[in-house]
Structure 1
Amino acid sequence: MILYPAIDLKDGNCVRLLRGEMEAATVFGTDPAAQALAFQQAGAEWLHLVDLNGAFAGKPVNGAAVEAILNATSIPAQLGGGIRDMATIEGWLDKGLARVILGTVAVEQPDLVREAAMAFPGKIAVGIDARNGRVATRGWAEETNVMVTDLARQFQDAGVAAIIYTDIDRDGAMQGPNVAATEALARAVTIPVIASGGVSSMADLKALNDTRIIAGAISGRALYDGAIDLAEALRSLA
């Protein structure tokens, strides 16, 4: 299981939100590139980046910070937030991103996901963010009646590289991930599933890893708070 350190970007800073509320942002650093490099030096194999402003604006907003991260590091990075057309997808991949994450458009324009996955094999992930099993879009501000598993199954044969599943009510709350729901999703599809939201201890990582089917876990606040030591966690997962 791959551990993805998270860098959430708001107004050019590294922040963490509580349950997706932009007003409940805690700033953890003002130099995202330095933070990304620190994660790489600790042994991280991947980075998980989110343009929070972009998720609400529907277009990239923290582009300069993302480019600084890409210039400072050599490990692959995936980015979500405000990526809603082919031109933006192509632009980010040209700048060196290993993978783009499509969230809102997966609900609103599923054909775009299929087109992108075909055009850029292995470089398109689907972000599924949910409350009580229902998908939320547009920076988690809008809730839909679409069920998580139903959405995931739409992309079963599309060539999607991964599904990033976030339980919004767990995100940033340091209360542990929704292991049962994440495992159920991973068993419902053949696409690799990455857990996000609430991963806040070594025990959480072990619980996810012990399912033997969850492909990855994303952690942010716990790494900044010191609840998880990244180097130690990477050693234990190895």
Structure 2
Amino acid sequence: MRVIFIGDVMGEIGQQMLTTYLPKLKSKYRPQLTVVNGENIARGKGITRALYKLILQAGADVVTMGNHTFDKDEIFDFIDSEPKLIRPANYPAKTTPGRGFTTIKVNQTTVGVINLQGRVFLDNIDDPFAKIDTILAELQAKCQVILLDFHAETTSEKLAMGWYTDGRLSAVLGTHTHVQTNDARILPEGTAYLTDAGMTGPYNEILGMRRDRVIERFRTNLPTRFETPTSGPGQLNGCYLEIDEQTGHAKQIKLISITPDRPLMD
């Protein structure tokens, strides 16, 4: 099975990069499944119904989220009715709308896509390691391929999740830190791993925010309003996967990075 995963789409430039380049990537790689993280698409924080539809129209099959899932009030109007939109599964189940994982049929293969959030330097929500065990107890019986978007801050927590689930998940793909890491690999038991898929958004800024505002914050240590620029060069980051549908083990993981310095090649 061929899969494309796209890292956090950030603001208007991220929207432009996604709608411009995802169709080209799909033509190049011919994925059978495409997953996009959309938690930053609405000016850097959250998602709206219109932008959710934009991601699907660009070619996504599943949209994952993260710690900014509920930053736009509008999401409460549609998250429960959209099975292709998932938020971190370790939000408290009794009080949180939406779903933390979904399944999708790809030809004769059932694929599970899970979203979890780390706890180090983020909200102290439910234990993601205990939650993945609970979810896998349900999904392993019916899914041949299972992917995880692990939205977490620290490299160590992401690595721990990768090693903890090696052989039980087809891929553990990190999001949230917005800088693509160069550690794509297949772990010994067959799980593809990437600490962070990177960001899809502004290229000449800092983590998707205007660099002058971020620099001002560091120089003065005073409250500064961060803003996502609406124009300028962009980047698209993610990865391409090939997965054995019989074993659920990854066969290949390859970084995707499209920037002004690294244009998309045929």
What does residue 13 of structure 1 align with?
13
Equivalences, count: 193
Q: Shift of residue 6 of structure 1?
A: 1.7
What does residue 209 of structure 1 align with?
186
Question: What amino acid is the match of 1:88?
Answer: I
Write the distance in 1 (CA, Å) between the matches of 2:158 and 2:92. 27
Q: Shift of residue 168 of structure 1?
A: 1.2
What does residue 115 of structure 2 align with?
127
Three-state SS of the structure 1 residue aligned to 2:172 is strand
| Structure number with higher helix proportion | 1
Question: Residues 230, 196 of structure 1: CA spacing in aligned structure 2 closer, same or farther, 3 A cutoff?
Answer: closer
Q: Shift of residue 109 of structure 1?
A: 0.9
Residues 1:109 and 2:88 are matched in the alignment: no
Q: Please give the per-residue CA displacement for 1:98-138, whole angstroms capped at 9, x wherever unaligned.
A: x43321x5331169799886998857633222254xxx7xx
Structure 1: state its 5+ residue gaps. 15-28, 94-98, 171-176
Q: Shift of residue 67 of structure 1?
A: 2.2
Write the distance in 2 (CA, Å) between the matches of 1:34 and 1:237. 23
Question: Residues 182, 199 of structure 1: CA spacing in aligned structure 2 closer, same or farther, 3 A cutoff?
Answer: farther
Structure 2: state its 5+ residue gaps. 141-145, 204-234, 243-250, 255-266
What does residue 157 of structure 1 align with?
137
Q: Shift of residue 228 of structure 1?
A: 8.2
* Paired residues of 1:117 and 1:159 also in contact (CA < 8 A): no
Write the distance in 2 (CA, Å) between the matches of 1:101 and 1:47. 11
Question: Residues 227, 47 of structure 1: CA spacing in aligned structure 2 closer, same or farther, 3 A cutoff?
Answer: closer
Question: What amino acid is the match of 2:134?
Answer: Q
Q: Shift of residue 194 of structure 1?
A: 2.0
Residues 1:183 and 2:162 are matched in the alignment: yes
Question: What amino acid is the match of 1:64?
Answer: A
The structure having more radius of gyration, on CA atoms, is 2
Residues 137-176 of structure 1 aligned to structure 2 (within 5 Å): 140=122, 142-144=123-125, 146-159=126-139, 161-170=146-155
Question: Residues 48, 69 of structure 1: CA spacing in aligned structure 2 closer, same or farther, 3 A cutoff?
Answer: closer
What does residue 37 of structure 1 align with?
23
* Paired residues of 1:9 and 1:49 also in contact (CA < 8 A): yes
Which of 196, 201, 205 is 2:174 aligned to?
196
TM-score (norm 2): 0.50
Q: Shift of residue 196 of structure 1?
A: 0.9
What does residue 17 of structure 1 align with?
none
TM-score (norm 1): 0.55
Q: Shift of residue 33 of structure 1?
A: 1.1
What does residue 219 of structure 1 align with?
197
Question: Residues 76, 168 of structure 1: CA spacing in aligned structure 2 closer, same or farther, 3 A cutoff?
Answer: same
Provide the alpha-carbon RMSD of the alignment: 4.8
Write the distance in 2 (CA, Å) between the matches of 1:211 and 1:56. 36
Q: Shift of residue 229 of structure 1?
A: 9.8
* Paired residues of 2:12 and 2:41 also in contact (CA < 8 A): no
Residues 1:52 and 2:31 are matched in the alignment: no
Write the distance in 2 (CA, Å) between the matches of 1:147 and 1:123. 24
Write the distance in 1 (CA, Å) between the matches of 2:239 and 2:169. 26
